[in-house]
Amino acid sequence: MAVVEVADKIDTIYALATPSGRSAIAVIRVTGTSIPKKLLEKLSLQKNSRGCFVRKIDLGDYSDKCLVLNFPAPESYTGEHLIEIHCHGNPVIIADVFTLLDGYGVEEASPGDFSKRAYLNGKVSLDEAESLMLGIQAQNKNDLISLEKFRSGDLGQKIFNISNSLESLLVALESQLDFSDEDGVSDLERNEIAKNIEQILHDLKRLLKNYRPIRDLEARQRAVIIGPPNVGKSSLFNRLLKEDIAIVSNTPGTTRDVVRKTIVMEGIELEVNDTAGIRNGETLVEQEGIEKSYKALDGAEISIWVSDQESNFKNKPKTDLLVMNKIDLFEGRTIPKGWIPLSAKTGEGMNVLVEELIKKLNVEESVFYTSERVYGNIEKTVKTLSASSNEKDFYEINAQNARDALILLKEIYGDFDNEKILDQIFQKFCIGK
């Protein structure tokens, strides 16, 4: 599959495969063509014994009881000998395991190193590796649904079938190159080839229509809560988050900065921002906070103005939603038209707000995603194959176009020998993948 020249000796590398910070377990992956013998001895592992072992790893002044998974080559993700050390998720323990590995000459991996090796060893194609990464970057259920055809290999199979048709076309074209037009190549043959080209173009164009290149999967949609001080913005923020992370206080002006937290609503990931109350700030810090509040509105998908009374606020910015909070204290007062009545204290009206938020969120349905690179190559293939050929050089020009188009399609799987391009692709991956 891969045709890139691999350096003779690939060093052993390691990386944390789980997020940094504290967790029950942290997974450190180690891979190499030849994992240092001394390290295997330290972990009491036999080079070829595939399995899962409990090991008390001595980290100097203390030890950690770990689960060690041993995947001898070639049956591993990278195709090399791969070890997973499942230690306890404490940053100090993780750092000490790293130090231990450094001591055996194992080097820290760069982003995408594990997948790059998997690709170089023919374990995954380039588009498969990309689809794995995009699956990790997906922000919501819809992203994952849209990525399904790419991640499951369905798109790859379609492109593979089109490559096969293109290859047959090229064979037909090249066989005609041995004859000149004068030799009496029939119009029938020529029409047949033109029809094949049309069919391939039709299939490729259908892919372009049904798929969309992913530009920035990690860009989240954002909702900003804004309004005067003490109206219950932080309380509403906490209600949305269902946890107390923002400061709730009855002293006006407590939220001086923008507090951000991401929530998942019906499978959609949304970053919610709680901002400082807008009024003429008394201190310089408060003024700064208020400026930040207005700034937070820039580029936000949804803005929510919160108030607790029916007053005309002088500097009220235009927002998508208006929330009238503290209705538990309203006792018969009417709610102005266009406002969502709500009580952050009791939770009343929250369902209406959440419904409105979901309505406003940009959720594209029935779109299939693929990587920008894959989409770009399909586009280029269509352009190349559509290039006109005059009647006289019909076979020569179409043969050349088909050759160029085939190169572009095969590049999708990673069938090329440009290590620089390869590095650019894998650099976008996360460390440990």
Residues at the contact surface with ligand GDP, assessed by CB under 6 A: 229-235, 248-250, 255, 277, 325-326, 328-329, 343-345
Residues, the chain, total?
433
Distances (CA, A) of 375 to 127, 148, 183: 11, 16, 41
| Backbone angles phi and psi of 63, in degrees to 5 | -135, 165
Least distance (Å) between residue 271 CB and ligand GDP: 18
Closer residue to ligand GDP in complex, CB, 233/433:
233
Closer residue to ligand GDP in complex, CB, 248/363:
248
Closer residue to ligand GDP in complex, CB, 55/233:
233
Least distance (Å) between residue 235 CB and ligand GDP: 3
Closer residue to ligand GDP in complex, CB, 123/326:
326
Here the tokens at position 363 are 């959720």
Least distance (Å) between residue 230 CB and ligand GDP: 5
Q: Which residues pair with 27 in a beta bridge?
A: 86
The helix or strand, by DSSP H or E, that contains position 356, with its residue range, turns out to be helix 350-360
Cβ-count burial of 313 within 10 angstroms (0-12 exposed, 13-18 middle, 19+ buried)?
middle
Least distance (Å) between residue 344 CB and ligand GDP: 4
Closer residue to ligand GDP in complex, CB, 159/342:
342
Give the whole-angstrom CA distance, residue 87 versus residue 56.
Answer: 10
Closer residue to ligand GDP in complex, CB, 232/414:
232
Residue nearest to ligand GDP (CB): 232
Give the whole-angstrom CA distance, residue 274 versus residue 223.
Answer: 9
Bridge pairing between strands 211-214 and 368-371: parallel
Taking CA 342 as the corner, what is the angle to CA 221 and CA 311, rounded to the nearest 5 degrees?
A: 95
End-to-end alpha carbon distance in the chain: 20
Least distance (Å) between residue 307 CB and ligand GDP: 10
Closer residue to ligand GDP in complex, CB, 210/230:
230
Hey, is 43 helix, strand or coil? coil
Closer residue to ligand GDP in complex, CB, 59/247:
247
DSSP string, 376-402: HHHHHHHHHHH----STTHHHHHHHHH
Least distance (Å) between residue 318 CB and ligand GDP: 19
Give the whole-angstrom CA distance, residue 20 versus residue 18.
Answer: 6
Least distance (Å) between residue 249 CB and ligand GDP: 5
Q: Any idea what DSSP says for residue 4?
A: P
Hey, is 163 helix, strand or coil? helix
Hey, is 244 helix, strand or coil? coil
Least distance (Å) between residue 248 CB and ligand GDP: 4
Least distance (Å) between residue 299 CB and ligand GDP: 22
Closer residue to ligand GDP in complex, CB, 145/263:
263
56 half-sphere exposure, CB direction, 13 A CA radius: 4
DSSP string, 288-305: HHHHHHHHHTTT-SEEEE
Least distance (Å) between residue 358 CB and ligand GDP: 22
Closer residue to ligand GDP in complex, CB, 32/228:
228
Say if residues 292 and 275 touch (Cβ distance below 8 Å).
yes
